[in-house]
Amino acid sequence: MMMEYEANGLHGQAKAQMIDGLLAEHKGEIKWLLVLSSVAELLLLPDYENAILLLIFNFLLWPAAFIDFRYMYLFNRLLYPLFYVGVFAGVVLSIGNIDYILSVVAGSLTLGGSLLLLQFISRGGLGAGDVKYGFAIGIWLCWQQAVAALMVAFMAGGGVALCYMIYLVYRRKPCMGVKLPFGPFLALGAVVSFMYGTELFQKYISLLQYLW
């Protein structure tokens, strides 16, 4: 958490130098994360129509998630490229297709708006960086994929949090006040929903209809 306080106290050139230093320090780890995640995603991709777009998404997505995992902080400088490149890709792909524009806008509002609402309800339990990360990720997804991304992120995050709490109890360590970064789980949900989001959403709706 010290990184969060230090980052909040820095501005402009000082913060830029700090981010450059972190990226340089973890260059090797981030490189391997990008390589391994790209290979895994290509192997799991159901079709290769959007393979190039997925790889671009992947390379913009994971550095921010890695820094959040290590330092519990999502820097705007790492989120802006994800958002702006997503907007550019949306504009290019939506030429002559207004429905596509509406779809990606809805995706951003669904994912980011849901996290913003959760931040308000939790009274700061979710960070502003997570909310901005959600808006940036959502611009790459349609609203159904955004819903699926949230489902995967919360299930993965909840599962890890539960296992971590059990570990702390087993080791007789205090559980209160322990925080986990949510960015990596959002990134995981984003990648899974990019590839399978529509199918996951349909299965979720089918499950709801069955339960009702």
Q: What pLDDT is attached to residue 69?
A: 94
Longest dimension (CA), the chain: 60
Q: What pLDDT is attached to residue 14?
A: 74
Using alpha carbons, select from 117, 128, 116 the residue that is nearest to residue 76.
Answer: 128
| C-alpha gyration radius of the chain | 18
Cα–Cα distance measured from residue 35 to residue 20, given in angstroms and rounded to the nearest whole number: 20
Q: Which two tokens stand for residue 119?
A: 């931040």
- Torsions phi, psi of 74, nearest 5? -110, 115
Range of the domain at 108: 2-211
Average pLDDT score over residue span 152-172: 89
C-alpha distances (whole Å) from 127 to each of 116, 169, 171, 181, 184 are 9, 26, 28, 9, 13
- Using the Cα atoms of residue 119, residue 122, residue 124 and residue 127 in order, give the sign of their dihedral: negative
- Whether 11 has a pLDDT exceeding 80, the answer reads no
Residue appearing with tokens 């890890």: 160
Q: What pLDDT is attached to residue 178?
A: 73
Q: What pLDDT is attached to residue 1?
A: 43
Q: What pLDDT is attached to residue 96?
A: 65
Average pLDDT score over residue span 144-164: 93
Q: What pLDDT is attached to residue 8?
A: 56
CB atoms within 10 A of CB 132: 21
Confidence (pTM)? 0.88
Q: Which two tokens stand for residue 95?
A: 């030429």
C-alpha distances (whole Å) from 72 to each of 43, 52, 150 are 30, 30, 19
Residue appearing with tokens 């450059």: 20
Average pLDDT score over residue span 20-31: 92
Domain count, the chain: 1
Q: What is the pLDDT of residues 32-51, one digit of tens each?
A: 999 999 999 999 988 888 89
Average pLDDT score over residue span 10-29: 82
pLDDT band at 97 (very low <50, low <70, confident <90, very high): confident
Q: What pLDDT is attached to residue 37?
A: 95
